C-alpha cells in the first residue's frame, strides 16, 4: 500500500537514536537544546522551544500571551482541529475566517470582516506548506493591536513571499511547527515554537515544564541547588532527547526532502494538468513551499461518482488517499458549543467537497509516483 504520507528514516537517523539510548540522558538532556538551536539556524528566529507535539505548542503559545478570558481568536476552518482547539483550551472563543479559493489558506479580507473589539489573536495556518499572505495579515493585526501565532505544522522548510524562512517570526509573535511522521521531518511525535520575544520565550519554557523554574533571577528565595518554584499552572509538554536526536538528524535532510517533494509535485502537475473536472494545487514560482500535502480538487459529481467510491477504487489498487480537512466549524462540538452551522464558510465547504490528498513523501519511488498517476488518470478519464 502506498500511503498518503509516510516518514523517511535512514541509518543516520537510527544511529542518532541509538547514540542517545546509550547516553546518560533520555530526556531533559543536551539533545533537545541541539535540536532547538538547529531550528533557530534554519528559521532565523532568536528562540526555539521544543515540545511534545504541535498541539501542545499551540496550547502554550496561546497561554503565553495571557489573553483575556472569553476574548476571541480567529483561525481558518480548513485545518486540523488543534488550530481552533488551542483557543478553547485557553477559554477563548474560536472564530473562523473563510479561505482563499485558490491557495486554500485563510483569506486576509475575511479576517478583517471577523475582527471585533473582542479579537485578541489571529492564528493563520500555512495549509499544505504554502505560507499565508503574512505581510497583509501582520498589517491587519498591527492596525488592531492583535497578536499573531502562525500554525506552521505543514511548513518547516517553506518560505514566505519575501523569500525568508517560515518561522523567523518577522510577521508574528510565535510560530508553531509539527514533526508528526507524515510531516516533512519527524521526531515521532513532537513540535516546536519559535519566537523573537525573550519574555515569551521564558514564559514558554515555564509552561512547557509544569509552570516551574530554577532560574535564580526569578526565584523568591534560594535555599540551595535543589530548589525550584512553580510560578504558574503549566504542563508536562517536554520533548525527549530520543525524539530530539531523531529530529536533528532529520533536519540535516530538510533540503533533500523539500527537493524530492517538489519533484513529485512537478510530476503530478504535469500528469494531471488539463484533465476535465480536476483542479491542480495552487502554483507559484516566486514562493517556496515544502509541500506537506498534494491536494487535487476533483468534481466527483461531474465524473459520475462519489468520493468514497473513488477512494475505495484507489485503495483496491494499493493507493492510500486522505481528505484534508473536514471544516472545523462543521464538527459537532463546534456546532453545539458555538452555534456554527453548515453554510457559514462556503468557500471552505466547497473546497472540502472536492478535496483529495494523493500520496506525497520522499520515500516514494519513481515507480510509486507513476503508479499513483496511472491509477488516478484511469479513474478520472473513464
pLDDT tens, position by position, 316-331: 999 999 999 999 999 9
Average pLDDT on 342-367 reads: 98
Average pLDDT on 347-357 reads: 98
Give pLDDT, residue 232.
95
Digit-coded pLDDT (tens) for 123-163 = 999 999 999 999 999 999 999 999 999 999 999 999 999 99
Segment (H or E) for 1: none
Decide if 2 is inside a domain.
no
Eight-state DSSP code of residue 138: H
String of b and e for 158-175 (b: at least 16 CB within 10 Å)? bbbeeeebbbbbbbbbbb
The rounded distance, in Å, linking the Cα atoms of 64 and 325 is 28
Digit-coded pLDDT (tens) for 257-282 = 999 999 999 999 999 999 999 999 99
Q: Are residues 267 and 213 in the same domain?
A: no
Nearest in space to 54 (alpha carbons), one of 16, 86, 28, 9: 86
Active-site entry in 183, 270, 308, 335: 183
- Check the CA dihedral 277-75-93-84 and report its sign: positive
Question: Cell 509573535 maps to which residue?
Answer: 173
The x, y and z cell numbers of residue 94, run together, are 474560536
Indicate which CATH number applies to the domain containing 373. Answer: 3.90.1150.10
pTM over 0.85: yes
Give pLDDT, residue 286.
76
The rounded distance, in Å, linking the Cα atoms of 54 and 176 is 7
Segment (H or E) for 135: helix 134-143
Three-state DSSP state, 371: helix
Give pLDDT, residue 382.
74
Q: Are residues 135 and 258 in the same domain?
A: no
The rounded distance, in Å, linking the Cα atoms of 122 and 90 is 14
The whole domain housing 137 covers 11-251
Q: Are residues 230 and 279 in the same domain?
A: no
Q: Are residues 325 and 216 in the same domain?
A: no
The x, y and z cell numbers of residue 280, run together, are 491542480
Query: Percentage of the chain surpassing pLDDT 70?
Result: 100
Average pLDDT on 7-20 reads: 98
Digit-coded pLDDT (tens) for 185-199 = 999 999 999 999 999
Digit-coded pLDDT (tens) for 47-60 = 999 999 999 999 99
Domain boundary among 236, 251, 266: 251
Q: Are residues 143 and 203 in the same domain?
A: yes
Q: Decide if 183 is catalytic.
A: yes
Decide if 342 is inside a domain.
yes
How many domains does one find in the chain?
2
The rounded distance, in Å, linking the Cα atoms of 132 and 288 is 12
Give pLDDT, residue 82.
98
Determine contact, residues 314/375, Cβ cutoff 8 Å: yes
Eight-state DSSP code of residue 107: P
Amino acid at each position: 500500500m502506498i500511503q498518503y504520507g509516510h516518514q523517511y528514516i535512514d541509518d543516520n537517523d537510527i544511529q542518532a537514536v541509538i547514540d542517545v539510548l546509550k547516553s546518560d540522558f533520555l530526556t531533559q538532556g543536551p539533545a533537545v537544546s541541539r535540536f532547538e538551536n538547529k531550528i533557530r539556524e534554519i528559521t532565523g528566529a532568536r528562540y526555539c522551544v521544543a515540545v511534545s507535539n504541535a498541539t501542545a505548542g499551540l496550547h502554550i503559545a496561546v497561554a503565553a500571551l495571557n489573553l483575556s478570558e472569553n476574548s476571541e481568536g480567529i483561525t481558518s476552518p480548513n485545518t486540523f482541529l488543534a488550530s481552533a482547539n488551542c483557543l478553547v483550551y485557553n477559554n477563548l472563543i474560536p472564530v473562523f475566517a473563510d479561505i482563499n479559493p485558490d491557495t486554500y489558506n485563510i483569506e486576509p479580507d475575511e479576517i478583517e470582516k471577523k475582527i471585533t473589539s473582542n479579537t485578541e489573536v489571529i492564528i493563520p495556518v500555512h495549509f499544505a506548506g504554502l505560507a499565508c499572505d503574512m505581510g497583509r495579515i501582520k498589517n491587519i493585526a498591527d492596525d488592531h493591536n492583535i497578536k499573531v501565532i502562525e500554525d506552521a505544522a505543514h511548513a518547516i522548510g517553506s518560505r514566505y513571499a519575501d523569500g525568508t524562512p517560515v518561522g523567523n517570526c518577522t510577521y508574528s509573535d510565535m510560530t508553531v511547527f509539527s514533526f508528526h511522521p507524515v510531516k516533512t521531518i519527524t521526531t515521532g511525535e513532537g513540535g516546536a515554537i519559535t519566537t523573537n520575544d525573550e519574555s515569551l520565550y521564558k514564559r514558554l519554557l515555564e509552561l512547557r515544564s509544569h509552570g516551574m523554574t530554577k532560574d535564580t533571577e526569578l526565584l523568591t528565595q534560594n535555599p540551595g541547588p535543589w530548589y525550584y518554584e512553580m510560578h504558574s499552572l503549566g504542563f508536562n509538554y517536554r520533548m525527549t532527547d530520543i525524539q530530539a536526536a531523531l529530529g536533528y538528524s532529520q533536519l540535516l535532510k530538510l533540503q533533500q526532502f523539500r527537493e524530492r517533494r517538489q519533484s513529485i509535485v512537478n510530476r503530478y502537475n504535469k500528469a494531471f494538468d488539463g484533465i476535465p473536472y480536476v483542479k491542480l494545487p495552487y502554483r507559484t514560482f516566486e514562493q517556496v513551499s515544502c509541500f506537506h500535502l498534494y491536494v487535487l480538487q476533483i468534481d466527483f459529481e461531474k465524473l459520475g461518482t462519489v468520493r468514497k467510491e473513488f477512494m475505495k477504487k484507489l485503495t483496491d489498487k494499493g493507493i492510500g488517499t486522505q481528505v484534508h480537512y473536514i471544516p472545523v466549524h462543521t464538527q459537532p462540538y463546534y456546532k453545539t458549543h458555538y452555534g456554527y452551522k453548515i453554510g457559514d464558510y462556503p468557500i471552505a465547504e466547497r473546497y472540502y467537497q472536492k478535496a483529495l490528498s494523493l500520496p506525497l513523501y520522499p520515500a516514494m519511488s519513481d515507480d510509486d509516483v507513476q503508479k499513483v498517476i496511472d491509477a488516478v488518470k484511469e479513474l478520472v478519464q473513464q
